[in-house]
Amino acid sequence: MLRLVSLFLFVGLALARHEVYDGYGLYKVSVKSADQIELVNHLSSSLDLDVWSHALPGRDGQVLVPKETKVLFENELKAAGVEFTIETDNIKELLDLEDQLHAEALQKSNGSRLESLPFDQIYTYHQVDTFLELLAAAHPETVTLVNAGKSFEGRDIKYIKISSTNFEDTRKPIVFMESLLHAREWITLPATLYAIHKLVIDVTEQDLVRDIDWIILPIANPDGYVHTHGEFRLWRKNRSTNYGPLCTGVDLNRNFDVFWGQASSNIACSDTFHGAAPFSEPETAIIKTIYDQYSSRIELFLDIHSFGSMILYGYGDGSLPPSALMLHLLGVQMAQAIDAVKMSWNPNYVVGNVALVLYQASGSAGDYALAVGVPYSYTYELPGHRFGIGGLGFLVDPAFIEQAGFETWEGIKTGARFVRDNFKKKHL
Ligand SMILES: [Zn+2]
């Protein structure tokens, strides 16, 4: 009964939600040349548009455009000969649909879920927090829960360590992965939770626990994430209010101490605002402490983002680390492992240097890992899974939550075993 009441409350709330996005159109943009890429990028930044994915020749981009800017945006594209189609004229309707799909999934789900966490819904901060607590209590032999500190708004940031030897065997490499550094990228959470599931609850491949130590941080940006469960589903940054009354939040993936400020925004309202200084934000400072403690043993770092079906590596200025060839090789292997089991309508993963594939970006978590000596560091951009009429970026259809976890795990396993084998050779 309580569930029914809360379902009605949820649906009732859903109808009144997402007003801030009313009338926003989502445009699919196709570019054919470097000049057209440049034009779309320039237009997007001068009109302060929310670029969901950057257009490349052969791969469409998606741009969210407010109601009052649509005509101007369309005219500029037409004048430059850039092809576009309108995915939806009002993103609010699809955000409402997302709420409805999730409410239905919740209704179908059968109880006692926090111990086993079935992959049929996107869990809230509190649900994940409870799950991690229960998991650590139920599996003290392999799981250690670490409360690493507080977010800007005072939420606990917790990660788990998974080890068959209590992190004491220094001959083992560490794989470190995190999700939700960007708040709206909901589909990234099932990827880390699925990994936890396969390493602790449903262990079918013993070598992964026997030979490797794991650090998994499911919610790297809790304040932003909680914010996306309220009125602002498409929020990306953290929730720092240190930068004046008008603009909230720092892009945490531009706040790390590596080329900081070179290719990011110094405007607080921007979605790529880099903050006052490297590690000015508690969320990134906490991740730094993980490297301070473990960097000599972290062999693989995976920063899970969405969307675009890409595996990217540094550096963000286009320069390549000495390990570039091996980085690329392992990137391709992980991509192939995912492509082998992906949904047929999603494109194959693209692998490459982030600046060469996409755009320059400084101060990223992935680059910081490379800079402190982690040999294999990648940003995964998971696919935008099918949603109603097509792949709709950040929106999550509950029907594909398990698939997202399952297919990404194939890539993660490939990476983990590769670094395990290489770490052994290094230490013979
Ligand atoms: Zn992201």
What's residue 92's pLDDT? 95
Nearest CA to 272 out of 44, 107, 90 is that of 44
Dig out the tokens for 402 from the structure.
């398990």
Coil, strand or helix: which one is 423?
A: helix
Q: How far is the CA of 51 from the centre of ligand 1 (A)?
A: 12
How far is residue 126's CA from residue 341's CA, in Å, rounded to a whole number?
Answer: 31
What's residue 4's pLDDT? 43
What's residue 115's pLDDT? 66
Q: Is 76 a catalytic residue?
A: no
Count of Cβ atoms closer than 10 Å to residue 336 Cβ: 15
**Contact status, residue 91 vs residue 24, Cβ threshold 8 Å:** yes
DSSP code of 123? Answer: P
Beta strands 350-353 and 310-313 are parallel
Question: What is the distance between the terminal CA atoms of the chain, rounded to a whole angstrom?
Answer: 61
CA angle at 13 for the pair 10 and 18, rounded to the nearest 5°: 125
Q: How far is the CA of 132 from the centre of ligand 1 (A)?
A: 23
Strand order across the 50-53 sheet? 50-53, 61-65, 25-30, 83-88
Q: How far is the CA of 77 from the centre of ligand 1 (A)?
A: 26
What's residue 111's pLDDT? 58
Q: How far is the CA of 139 from the centre of ligand 1 (A)?
A: 31
What's residue 390's pLDDT? 61
Nearest CA to 344 out of 402, 410, 391, 393 is that of 391
What's residue 397's pLDDT? 93
Selected catalytic residue, list 93, 381, 402, 410: 381
Q: How far is the CA of 9 from the centre of ligand 1 (A)?
A: 31
Query: In whole angstroms, how large is the CA radius of gyration of the chain?
Result: 21
The residue behind tokens 């009964």 is 1
Q: How far is the CA of 408 from the centre of ligand 1 (A)?
A: 16
Q: Which residues does the chain have with pLDDT short of 70?
A: 1-16, 110-115, 388-390, 427-428
**Contact status, residue 102 vs residue 398, Cβ threshold 8 Å:** yes
